[in-house]
Amino acid sequence: MEDAPTLTFRNGHRVTLVAEGLDERGPYLRLKHLLPKADRQAGPHWHPELTESWTVRQGRLRFNVDGAQTVLGPGDSITAPPRAVHEFWSEAADTEFDHEIRPPLRHWQMFTLWHNLDAAGKTTRSGVPRDPLALALLWDYQDGYLAGIPSWLQRAVFGGLAAIAERAGYRRRWLKTGSHQD
């Protein structure tokens, strides 16, 4: 696993691609995350199609899945099925966990896009892209929706901006490897 692709964000968050493939339950993507500090990791969102599962290796994670709060420690797991609104926080420094996505859709590309924007200094301290077109493309690659905002409105606004970003070459520019500059 030494040569496994790993993305390291400016805040120290590391995402490693562990495996991707197909088994009796269908296509999957397995990632390993290392979070250097306690902080919010993902705000409330949901995915129409994919299921996400997390298993803590070390540290603690707090999840809210469809309104149910759960704190996980080493060896504990939780799953957010399709359409479940979920969000989570790391509650300890150096929290490490496994993350499985079924079907993976474009989740690895989403992390790659996000990492490339972050590495180029195109995100805020909290990791949000500053450029609305880049933000919309990242939204598109997460294959889901923000909770609390009608999905039709997100498709109209973010989907429209993501289409403009595609035509403007953002995907080609920000999904390739290496450093990126304006």
Domain limits, the chain? 6-102, 107-174
pLDDT digits (tens, 9 = 90+) for 91-139: 999 999 999 999 999 999 999 999 999 999 999 988 899 999 999 999 9
- DSSP bridge partners of 55: 77, 98
User: In which element (H, E) is residue 39 found?
Assistant: strand 39-46
User: In which element (H, E) is residue 141 found?
Assistant: helix 132-141
So what's the pLDDT on residue 128? 92
Phi (first) and psi of residue 127, to 5 degrees: 90, 5
What's the whole-number mean pLDDT along residues 58-68? 97
Which class for 86: exposed (0-12), middle (13-18), buried (19 or more C-beta within 10 A)? buried
So what's the pLDDT on residue 131? 95
Q: From the options 3.10.450.50, 2.60.120.10, 3.40.50.10320, 1.10.1740.10, give the CATH code of 6-102.
A: 2.60.120.10
Phi-psi region of 75 (alpha: psi -120 to 50; beta: other; left: phi over 0): left
What's the whole-number mean pLDDT along residues 78-89? 97
In the block, tokens 């590391």 appear at: 14
pLDDT-based confidence at residue 2 (cuts at 50, 70, 90) = low
Check if the beta carbon of residue 6 is closer than 8 Å to that of residue 68.
no
Dihedral sign, Cα of residue 51, residue 80, residue 1, residue 139: positive
Check if the beta carbon of residue 65 is closer than 8 Å to that of residue 86.
yes
pTM of the model: 0.90
pLDDT digits (tens, 9 = 90+) for 128-148: 999 999 999 999 999 999 999
pLDDT-based confidence at residue 178 (cuts at 50, 70, 90) = very low
CA 64 to chain centre: 16
* Other C-beta atoms lying within 10 Å of the C-beta of residue 139: 23
